[in-house]
Amino acid sequence: MKIMSIVGARPQFVKEAIVQHELNKVEGINEIVVHTGQHYDENMSGSFFETLSMRKPDYNLGLSGGSHGKMTGEMLIAVEELMIKESPELVILYGDTNSTLAGALAAAKLKIEVAHIEAGLRQHPKDMPEEINRVLTDRISKYLFVPSEWGMRNLEAEGIREGVHFTGDVMYDIFLKMKPTFDENYHLELGLESGKYIVMTMHRDFNVDDAEILTEILKGVGRIAKEMPIVFTIHPRTKARIEEFKLNSMLKDMIVIPPIDYLKLMGLTQHAYAAITDSGGYQKETYFSGKKALVLMPDTSWIELVNEGINVLVNGDDIYDAFKGLKTGDFKENIYGSGDAAKRIVDIISKNI
């Protein structure tokens, strides 16, 4: 069976790593990996293939940047050509990026089956690009692999029942697999004391593309930085906006570093006090690490963590108070399965060869 996996953005490399590992174990499966090129900086892309011991992609389309329509459209054209050339029987897609939607559309229109890993998640604002991508991808997928109970309920509420499988979250699998290799000394290289710093990531359009909102967030975070060191691993989009809006001086109390690879970020997180993030993936990886996160979002597709009192949804106005109110405490375990999601997914796929 020929399978085409399509990845393009940072979190997708992490998910593909563990699924690829399981696919390799099955005789008769031939996987082709396509990288759309959406993320291209070495530390947003190449480093993941190395640190997670993945094969280099069979194709790299080099398509990135531009408006969402342009990016998605160019990917659609290019992946369709590849699908026609390679004739896969199944296309595997991850999450909610423009690469996901482009792959799903191209495959569905060629009547190639689509498997969506991380299906069923929903969140506000409904007009955020990721929400549009995931809703549409779910609609045209034959296999919907769902990471959480809440995802199952979302699909049920939308009347999507066929092909739906609860598997748990592949990001938990890879977290467990790679844990012994996390760079547990990285905080020392940054001069930080274990348990006494915060890790921050931020890149969502609704947080960084509006000067007023971004200023409010940096103001709130700046107050926290006066009390506890913040390591801000800065995404290219955020860096560009901060420069464009001339807000660089607001970062003066933070330790600003470029994006870092998976093993460094996870190592840093193991020793952190807590995290500040608007990343879908990272707000769970903090939970896997036994840390709390202040989530810079009006809503989240990982709402269980908020309901369990582990993560807190915040904005620029209330982030400081939320930081002061953080309590350490026991975490409910195994919210996202038992670390065998990739195996379950590959079992289901291979039964249908």
Using CB under 6 A, list all residues that contact ligand UD1: 9-11, 38-41, 44-45, 64-65, 96-98, 129-130, 203, 236-237, 279-280
- Taking alpha carbons only, the member of 132, 81, 130 closest to residue 109 is 81
Give, in order, the Cα–Cα distances in Å from 17 to each of 22, 120, 227. Answer: 9, 21, 38
**Any idea what DSSP says for residue 343?**
H
Question: Residue 31 in 3-state DSSP?
Answer: strand
Residue with smaller CB distance to ligand UD1, 98 or 123: 98
CB of 38 to ligand UD1, least distance (A): 5
Catalytic site residue 203? yes
- Distance of alpha carbon 22 from alpha carbon 340, whole angstroms: 10
CB of 248 to ligand UD1, least distance (A): 17
- Distance of alpha carbon 81 from alpha carbon 69, whole angstroms: 18
Residue with smaller CB distance to ligand UD1, 266 or 346: 266
Residue with smaller CB distance to ligand UD1, 39 or 122: 39
Residue with smaller CB distance to ligand UD1, 11 or 316: 11
CB of 40 to ligand UD1, least distance (A): 4
CB of 118 to ligand UD1, least distance (A): 11
Residue with smaller CB distance to ligand UD1, 141 or 233: 233
- Distance of alpha carbon 134 from alpha carbon 116, whole angstroms: 9
Q: Give the residue carrying structure tokens 């940054």.
A: 190
52 near 13, Cβ under 8 Å?
Answer: yes
Rounded CA Rg of the chain: 20
Measure CA 292 to chain center. 17
- Distance of alpha carbon 139 from alpha carbon 100, whole angstroms: 13
CB of 233 to ligand UD1, least distance (A): 11
- Distance of alpha carbon 148 from alpha carbon 290, whole angstroms: 18
- Distance of alpha carbon 121 from alpha carbon 252, whole angstroms: 36
Q: Active site residue: 39, 116, 203, 235, which one?
A: 203
Per-residue tokens: 156: 């049920």
Residue with smaller CB distance to ligand UD1, 220 or 280: 280
String of DSSP letters for 301-335 = S-HHHHHTTSEEE--TTTHHHHHHT---------T
Residue with smaller CB distance to ligand UD1, 20 or 45: 45
CB of 72 to ligand UD1, least distance (A): 9
Query: Which residues are marked as active site?
Result: 203
